[in-house]
Structure 1
Amino acid sequence: MREVGKLKVDRGIMSRLAGVAGAAREAERLGYDGCWTAEINHDPFLPLTLAAEHTTNVEIGTSIAVAFARNPMTVANVGWDLQEYSQGRMLLGLGTQIKPHIEKRFSMPWSHPVQRMGEFVVALRAIWDCWHDGTKLSFDGDFYSHRLMTPMFTPEPQPFGSPKVFIAAVGELMTEKCGEVADGLIAHAFTTTRYLDEVTLPALSRGMAKSGRPRDEFQVMAPVFVVTGSEEPELAAAAAGARKQIAFYASTPAYRTVLELHGWGDLQTELHRLSIEGQWDTMATLIDDEILEAFAVVAPVDRLAAALRTRCDGVIDRVMVRLPASASEATVRAFLDEVRGG
């Protein structure tokens, strides 16, 4: 458990280049601690160059970049450059994606994802150590080998060190590996407080014990579904949207373990069947209030900060939220101040 009261609040920013600079400037002006891009239908790294250029304080990160679509050397290069250009504000968030995407979309190999991801991060650190300390590059693993680094291809020294590495994880094995080799965990939005307490944090502790690191040297970042609004119609609309998102994730076999912990395993089976049939609207009706409140923070906007702190305190170090577009700048600032205990 971390020290209560040190919560950071982040927001996602779009990856389309035309809007990145404005979104990053706005995040910094409003007082967010970090802004993150996602690798969905655009590259996650290129927008961060613009975000770094147009801000001075807010941290920038990928949530996530697909590790297995790349190799450690290419990721080491872009992470190193963004760390230097942002003057030490880069957070490198990596995820595995799933086998069909890696093999059929990216045309890359898939095997032993937990071991491969762990080795990927260790290889990154070996490369960065070579660049930072001048040590000989000699990394040989089961999946990656990096043994050549001549002066021509060595980046210039920079004073900010290597970026912190986060790994996206849901299952126990990947979470444990994250605790062993990474600087932070990116939890999935499809996560409950109970799952964090009973599965995620114990697995992290086992991993950190292997590498001998204390909890205060590690960060847990969690995107959180937020259902809020100033009036009842706005709350109802937000709840309807959250039910659809939760139903979508709940239909995915990879996340069944989260539901099973709560005794909702049969729901995953039914939602998966409905998803195959394309009955998306029907799926949302199966997400009752109990399930909604397990996965989402549900509160009017004037009580949202307190509800979010209740969800996060002592467990999560930084939270990524999306407030309603209707929220005024004053409302956002007050929310951020209250969440952080100001």
Structure 2
Amino acid sequence: MDLYEYQAKELFGRHGIPVPAGRVAATPAEARAAAADLNAPVVIKAQVKTGGRGKAGGIRTAAGPVAAEQEAERVIGMDIKGHVAHRVLVETATVPFEEYYAAFLVDRAEGGFLAMVSGQGGMEIEELAANNPDALVRLPIDPVTGVDQDTARLLAAKAGLPEQAAEVLEKLWKVLVAEDAVLVEVNPLICTTDQRIVALDGKVTLDDNSAFRHSWDYAEESDSLEARAKAKGLNYVKLDGQVGVIGNGAGLVMSTLDVVAGAGAAPANFLDIGGGASAQVMADGLEIILADPEVRSVLVNVFGGITACDAVANGIVTALGLLGERGHGTPIVVRLDGNNAEVGRRILSDARHPAVRQVSTMDGAAEMAARLAVGA
């Protein structure tokens, strides 16, 4: 479960991590009142569970209450990569002297935890890792010993952070452990001109499996793509790309995400429809994916097994019929393989749906979907 920034900062505050003073507002009038109470220049920040808010115009400064109301009017209701901002965080504007990056996360490949710390914050971590990998300190963390004072000081020193940042790093680790989180990230973690270490942003992902141990009450906005998918029983994760992906089986879907990336485009989602790809399941999946304004093409990658490809093909045809005009505007690339693949392909060919393109290989299908998405 991903938290909104304001929720992550509430957790930080409870664990003694300094954060800017702020309040959540659901209306422009509430934003004005919050700015008046803070009695200082503020930042209006869209509360959505995705990155790129600044580039999309979802983070704005305001000199006072009137400006805060005006900026909140612009931000509330904004769609950022398929996420609608229903609230804003009105926060005291804090000028950084230096910006850092800090994160603790589950390292599934190694069966432990990983610390990532850098003296260069404020940019996407993928960009930092690609452009300057030496600037990112990675340190495996033993689940038993965790992050004590000495480990926190070592991380700070290796990454070039000031000594006082070690205390905050140690507390971030405590957030991860105490709250059963799989990710705790701050970007940027800043040092102010008066040498205070402050979490200027916050991202926390909680482990749903541990909900029985907590009294969490983090409701998802009902019109987010994730919430709509969950209501339909779909295993869906929103990503920041242009190619919608549907597959049957988590392993196949993960492989499909990789080949889409290798073909020069970015996947827009993870969507596993499982073994029973009925017409309704396929319709629900396509409806969710096509509701994402970032999606430029869809790749359906199915390997027939228990559910044969002819059943999947009939599901696709029926789903497109159920979707009507919504299923015509975005190209859909379909790759069927495995049990009854030839029959399934013939069903799709006979349907002659204008949105559907068939490709026999996964790599070829990914290349076509990528080409259609990026306009190459």
Per the normalisation by structure 1, the TM-score is: 0.26
**Higher RCO (CA-CA < 8 Å; seq separation 6+):** 1
Structure with the bigger percentage of strand? 2
Structure with the bigger percentage of helix? 1
Per the normalisation by structure 2, the TM-score is: 0.25
